[in-house]
Amino acid sequence: MTTQESRLMTIARRGLSLPAETREQIRKIGILCRPQVEIVHQQRADQWKLRGEESGGAHQLLGHYVGFVSVDGEGLAWLQRVKNFLPNGVHAVVIANELVRVEMFRYETTYQLLISRHWLRRGDKERPELKSRILFLGRNGSLDTELWGKDAAFRGGAMPHFYARSGELAPPDTTWANATFKITEAASCCGCRHSHLLEAGISSSSPVPLEQDEQQFEFEREGMPA
């Protein structure tokens, strides 16, 4: 494996590679962005899943945000909505068999975009292996529109222009167009307190256990007058 291949594998697994000075500036501004995808085990169902946290936000100077969509680019339902006193933190949690992570970093009008797919590969071992693949990696995309300020009306309908080394336009595949619009808006949402990609709905990974349902019924019966 070459050095370049190893570097790309690390990015696919961990997220955008940002200089230490940039990460420190993000921390000082008060933006908490968690691109990590974790393997979790559901004991009752005895099954392994992936867990992601939609998080981040923006300041006028910069923005850093990560969210998740399905493998066909459609919206996913969050398992848990998270509300914090401080803005630009964790907004929602998702649990799924497969995830497509969408991460963006913005410095003024220059953007970095990573879209990666994550899934579990089950083998002979009890714990499955996390597999990751880069679907799109855009460096130094440009968008002169100030979505965090005077051009806020264009949020949700604008995305950066990314170019290949040859100078040709190199946008993400159309499958990821809607997610790219949303993540661009999120990376310009100053003092963000809401989710931009994960949606309200019924998560396929949050069934009510039968035992818990029966216990609740017993509690209700005990509280009824004779």
Domain ranges for the chain, please list them: 3-222
Q: Measure the CA angle with vertex 22, ends 62 and 51; round to 5°.
A: 80
The list of the chain residues with pLDDT below 50 reads: 208, 210-226
pLDDT at residue number 10: 95
Element containing residue 51 per DSSP (H, E)? strand 47-58
Element containing residue 3 per DSSP (H, E)? helix 3-14
- Lookup result for tokens 């806020």: 152
pLDDT at residue number 179: 97
Q: How many residues does the chain have?
A: 226
Secondary structure in 3-state letters for 64-101: EEEEEECCCCCCCECCEECCCCCCCCEEEEEEECEEEE
CA contacts within 13 A on the Cβ side of 85: 0
User: What global pTM score does this model have?
Assistant: 0.87
Measured between alpha carbons, how far is 10 from 211 in angstroms, rounded to an integer?
A: 41
pLDDT at residue number 206: 57
Task: Of 151, 158, 196, give the one whose Cα is nearest residue 60.
Answer: 151
Main-chain dihedrals φ then ψ at residue 96, nearest 5 degrees: -160, 170
pLDDT, tens digit, 9 for 90 and up, residues 121-152: 987 668 899 999 999 999 999 998 888 888 88
pLDDT at residue number 23: 96
Task: Of 128, 116, 121, give the one whose Cα is nearest residue 52.
Answer: 116
pLDDT at residue number 155: 86
Measured between alpha carbons, how far is 204 from 50 in angstroms, rounded to an integer?
A: 12
Measured between alpha carbons, how far is 173 from 28 in angstroms, rounded to an integer?
A: 34
pLDDT at residue number 216: 39
pLDDT at residue number 204: 62
